[in-house]
Amino acid sequence: MTVINIPYSRSHIEASIPDESLKGVLESHAHHYNPEAGEAELVRTALKNPIGSPKLRDLAKGRKKIVIVTSDHTRPVPTAIIAPLILAEIRSVNPDADITFLVATGFHRASTHEELLNKFGDELLKTEKIVIHDCWDNASLVHVGKLPSGGDLIINKMAMQADLLIAEGFIEPHLFAGFSGGRKSILPGIVSGVTVLANHCAEFIAHEKARVGILDGNPLHDDMLFAAKQAKLAFIINVVIDADKKIISAFAGDSEQAHLAGCQFVKELASVKAKPADIVITSNGGYPLDQNVYQLVKGLSSAEATCQKGGVIIICAACNDGHGGETFFKWFKEAPGGAREIMDKIMKIDRESTIPDQWAAQIIARIQLKHSVIIVTDQCDHQMIKTMGFKAALTINEALAMAEGIVGQQATFTVIPDGVAVIITD
């Protein structure tokens, strides 16, 4: 019997799998990577050696209004480590600069005080100016043109009025943008909901290039890159983290070149060969990405890439914050025909008529049409989960029994402990 730890909330769940049935354990090499230095030193080194750009301190000279775009509570970015180093770099040459942290909520809810405290730490939260982006607050937004896709590009006014716009974040595989980080701080991070809807249309989500690990030819990425350039995103500091959310590498400099270098690093570590199986067990990497069902599309899409058609996906995720959005939940609540009805409705929606959160519903419906999905949680309403077309279990053992009841007791297993961290290849 092989015992595998599956991230769950702030802890782990143990899954015991018979050795003869286990096809493989798919993990990113990032989880076993030995960094060259400590976390803070890695960030300092990246800031001292920017890619395709002058140093941040040189860019900051003489700038009055500086905006630092930072990820929200749904991303495990170690801001408490990165932000003080960015501030020190700026203030070493420009102590009087007016600096604002702009929290890139994208289409998510606003971060709570507790979540900001967890992200920034007590000192930064007390001493620094922090503004939370609201994608529906028209007074805080400005229209700056059209996306390559034709959608309206509307960006946070504070960012557009900055003398220097920079961003901190992290790079990981992303299910339809290819990779997170870089340009994603702008779109969807600090744009209007109208712009997010145009970019996340059904046509693009269904595009063959809108997949994990792919940037070239990816229509969502093309829009995002254009938005970052229009916003004049001048400098980024993006980190790569391991399973313990510790920094293992850092990339700073030009928003496109530094991001590409980071993506290549992640791709080399995260790419693993598929091990097709009847039952695939995965997670969303634990907290903070397993707080709601909406975010589970990430872990589920990895499991989808190695699950046999008609097989079962088991995802361990606390979902303590519920479904993640009423507009998202509505897709399932108002579709008695389940995944087929949802998919048929979404694929009839043209690019200009995208409905909030349809992209997540589209991906989940795509997966549910091929697989049974069981969510393991003791922190979420099981009836709500069932309303969304999933099965629910309190424990991993209960889920395993349910899965074997569907595909048989001779089932094979593949385990992806952290479904967010891998790029599964053929």
Q: What is the pLDDT of residues 15-40, one digit of tens each?
A: 999 999 999 999 999 888 999 999 99
The pLDDT value recorded for residue 352 is: 84
Among residues 5, 10, 23, 8, which one has the least CA distance to residue 279?
A: 23
Section 400-418 average pLDDT: 97
Residue 340 lies in a domain: yes
The pLDDT value recorded for residue 30 is: 87
93-124, pLDDT tens digit by residue? Answer: 999 999 999 999 998 888 999 999 999 999 99
Co-location of 258 and 283 in the same domain: no
Section 404-420 average pLDDT: 96
Section 199-220 average pLDDT: 95
Q: What is the pTM of this model?
A: 0.88
Last residue of a domain, one of 224, 243, 269: 269
The pLDDT value recorded for residue 288 is: 86
| Catalytic residue chosen out of the listed positions 73, 133, 174, 323 | 174
- Name residues whose C-beta falls within 8 Å of residue 232's C-beta, 6 or more positions apart in sequence: 165
User: Strand, helix or coil at 310?
Assistant: strand
Confidence of residue 351 (pLDDT cuts 50, 70, 90): confident
Co-location of 212 and 129 in the same domain: yes
The pLDDT value recorded for residue 108 is: 85
| Residue 314 pLDDT exceeds 90 | yes
Co-location of 328 and 374 in the same domain: yes
**Which amino acid appears at position 231 of this protein?**
A
Tokens 């890139």 locate to 104
Last residue of a domain, one of 225, 249, 269: 269
Last residue of a domain, one of 269, 296, 327: 269
Section 329-335 average pLDDT: 95
Q: State yes or no: is 174 an active-site residue.
A: yes
| Catalytic residue chosen out of the listed positions 108, 221, 323, 371 | 108
Confidence of residue 173 (pLDDT cuts 50, 70, 90): very high
Range of the domain at 228: 39-269
Q: State yes or no: is 108 an active-site residue.
A: yes
Co-location of 47 and 18 in the same domain: no
Residue 34 lies in a domain: no
Co-location of 236 and 330 in the same domain: no
**CATH number of the domain residue 133 falls in:** 3.40.50.11440
Burial of 366 (0-12, 13-18, 19+ CB in 10 A): buried
| Residue 362 pLDDT exceeds 90 | yes
Sign of CA dihedral 383, 387, 393, 394: negative
Co-location of 227 and 89 in the same domain: yes
Q: How many domains does the chain have?
A: 2
CB distance 415 to 15 below 8 Å:
yes
Cis before 188 (ω within 30): yes
What proportion of the chain, given as a percentage, has pLDDT over 70?
Answer: 100
